[in-house]
Amino acid sequence: MTFSEIAHVALSVSNIERSIRFYEEILGFHKVLDVAFGSALQPILKLRPDVGENARAVMLAQGESSVGRIELIEFSPSGPATKPKLPGDPGVFLLSFRLVSDDLDAVCDRLRTKGISFYHETPTTLELKGYGAVRVMILEDPDGVMIELVELPTAVG
């Protein structure tokens, strides 16, 4: 069995309009789909009884690719609030976005002017044996999901 890149990652959000603004205005995504679901998601996602059957989903993309998208879903009513996963917790705890044409320092400077704060003041360089130097900065989305901005070595495709 062969798979392509990740088609999309779905994030359950507490306020979809706030999350759309973050992913569009801060990370440069654009909306490619905006749909309201009725009870169709109940059997697909095995929704808990305390989570409403109605949901609004917005698919966001970078460029024209049909892979690597972010799907934001707000359930109505939503279940009890939970914190995002942390490093060391089983499950997904971080989304990583590779910079392809911008310098990480310049991107961080631009994001700071938009009120974004990072875990560290400057990018961290990690020297990975057999791979090269990787530079990273970590921030959070409006619901506390860790976002990694990463510069990969030039030779990596």
Q: For 27-40, how does the pLDDT look when each residue is reduced to its tens digit (9 = 90+)?
A: 999 999 999 876 67
pLDDT score of 153: 85
Mean pLDDT of 99-118: 94
Q: State the Cα–Cα distance between residues 137 and 155, nearest whole angstrom.
A: 20
Residue 47: per-residue pLDDT: 75
Judge whether residue 156 has pLDDT over 70: no
Can you tell me the distance from the alpha carbon of 74 to that of 78, in angstroms, rounded to the nearest whole number? 7
pTM of the model: 0.88
3-state percent breakdown (helix, strand, coil) of the chain, nearest 5? 15, 35, 50
Measured from the Cβ of residue 95, the count of other Cβ atoms closer than 10 Å reads: 14
| CB contact at 8 A, 13 and 59 | no
| Domains of the chain, start order | 8-76 (3.10.180.10), 94-151 (3.10.180.10)
With cut-offs at 50, 70 and 90, classify the pLDDT of residue 9.
very high
